[in-house]
Amino acid sequence: MDEERWRQMAGPWARARLPDGQELDVIVTGRERLPDGSWWYECEAILPDRRVEPDGLTRPVGAPTPIVLPADRVTPIPGEDYSSLPTEGAVEHRQWRVERLREYGDGPWRRVHRRDCWQAGASAEPVTAEAAGELLRSGAARGCDICRPERALVN
């Protein structure tokens, strides 16, 4: 099989930036959202290898090698279709998190955070944008001082 046909069948492809700054094209095989809210991509890098043929000759080949990269190191390539990728840990339309506060006194006892806010506690639960916006508008929760969700949620 010629190289171009193989490349078209193997996708989707993306551009990966490795920790040392090198870039290479990789095959994306899956994506996963971890409990801390971060996204990671499972990929295969085609790295050099060798194969010994039945006649005893050794020839260079490319071998798929599994690697895992944080999402900010993976750039989609225009024209590639990522819609059929396995996606683990995603909660559809839940880009916000609500945290119960352990405070005394008056005021809301809940705080709304962006999904990836480092300030949100481990117990913060994912909610839809509609639910998070309603909590902020009704005064049942306040927005985080760090990620400022009210900028996007309250019109």
Through-space distance between the first and last CA atoms of the chain, rounded to whole angstroms: 56
Q: Is the pLDDT of residue 61 over 80?
A: yes
Choose between 120 and 56: higher pLDDT. Answer: 56
Q: For residue 28, what pLDDT is reported?
A: 92
Q: For residue 42, what pLDDT is reported?
A: 92
Query: pTM surpassing 0.75?
Result: no
Q: pLDDT by residue (tens digit) across 68-126?
A: 999 999 999 998 888 777 777 665 556 788 998 876 666 668 899 988 788 888 888 88
Q: pLDDT by residue (tens digit) across 41-55?
A: 999 998 899 999 999
- At 155, the pLDDT band (50, 70, 90 cuts) reads low
Q: Is the pLDDT of residue 135 over 60?
A: yes
Tokens of 61: 């080949």
Cα–Cα distance for residue pair 97/138, rounded to 1 Å: 17
- At 66, the pLDDT band (50, 70, 90 cuts) reads very high
Mean pLDDT check: name the lowest of 54-63, 90-99, 140-149. 90-99
What is the SS3 string spanning 37-84?
A: CCEEEEEEEEEEEEEECCCCCEEEEEEEEEEEEEHHHEEECCCCCCCC
